[in-house]
Amino acid sequence: MDYAMLGSSDLRVSRICLGTMTFGTQNSEADAHRQLDVAVAHGINFIDTAEMYSVPPNAESYGRAETCIGNWLKRQARDRIILATKISGPGRSLNWIRNGDLAFNRKNIRAAIEGSLARLQTDYVDLYQLHWPDRNTPIFGQYRFDPGKERDFVPLEETLAALAELVKEGRVRHVGLSNETPWGVMEFLHQAEKHGLPRVVSVQNAYSLLNRTWEMGLAEIGFRENVGLLAYSPLAFGLLSGKYLRNAHAGGRLNLFPGFGQRYAKPNVEPAVAAYIELASASGLTPVELAQGFVASRPFVASTIIGATTLEQLGEDIAACAVSLGDQLLQQIEALHLRYGNPAP
């Protein structure tokens, strides 16, 4: 297993991170613990979760993933695990979380971290992330900024000041963002520098062969400001594994939870998936090896977040991240990218 420093932090994370949004719904707690054990046995020290998980989000599944992890974590050497979680934000009608009051203000941030720490059965988290922006932004399949949807939001300085308190108290070691835009990242960095507040060390955004929008502005920010990308959905909800092309009714989130994958319900997704799968076959690779190997090879990716519902899938994902793609294959991938662009932003 390879490791890297996460942005400007002192966190030495495995280049593979175990994502846990299936824990508690698609995976039982026993399944979750087996996945965690296998991940650690492979050298993975980085675990990502969120108060909202498992998915799809609802009142019954809220907090289940953190609870599953907490019951496992209490039997582990805490200082050997890099644990990340996230606070849910406004704009998504999650009324069962803090009665729908989800603005990133001091009251809500403190309530959220207290709940997460209790479920995780730990005194601190290594990385605390804002799951999506408080303000109006296009996220989760939306791709155009709409000024007509503007709403009030907590000033970023106020949010950072509340997070700074948690860092000072030792409840949080570092802070990060998720589903963020170039403006948001730069403004958080600006406010941190201006007011002596914690700098964000990472951004957890979608990144895959179908969605390389990170490269269109955020990659330069990450490089110049030393902010690492935590790449989620490297298999694009399983589409890049090819299972939905082989069997339109294959088990998986896209079929189990209709409407959950709106990011991938766009016209150019299926032909792009077919093209990448054909390239993988012609190159002697599985579709998973091509997709995971590509993401893991990008120099701006600090860690690739993988998720699975079976141990077989988990093992395949871990192995695929170590696959080396030669220059010729990377050029062929670029040719397809120029043809299909980012069909699932």
DSSP structural state of residue 174 = E
CA distances from 217 to 45, 145, 256 (A): 29, 15, 34
Strand partners, 84: 48, 127
CA distances from 214 to 26, 231, 259 (A): 29, 9, 24
The count of C-alpha atoms lying within 13 angstroms of the C-alpha of 234, restricted to the half-sphere facing its C-beta, is: 30
Q: Which amino acid is at 288?
A: V
Residue 53 appears among annotated catalytic residues: yes
User: Which residues are within 8 A (CB) of 264 and not within 5 positions of it... i.e. 6 or more apart?
Assistant: 141, 210, 236, 237, 239, 254, 344
Secondary structure of residue 237 in the 3-state scheme:
coil
User: Which residues are within 8 A (CB) of 309 and not within 5 positions of it... i.e. 6 or more apart?
Assistant: 22, 26, 27, 31
Active-site entry in 3, 53, 264, 340:
53
C-beta of residue 66 within 8 angstroms of C-beta of residue 85: yes
DSSP structural state of residue 83 = E
Distance of CA 172 to the CA centre of its chain: 18
**Catalytic annotation, residues:** 53
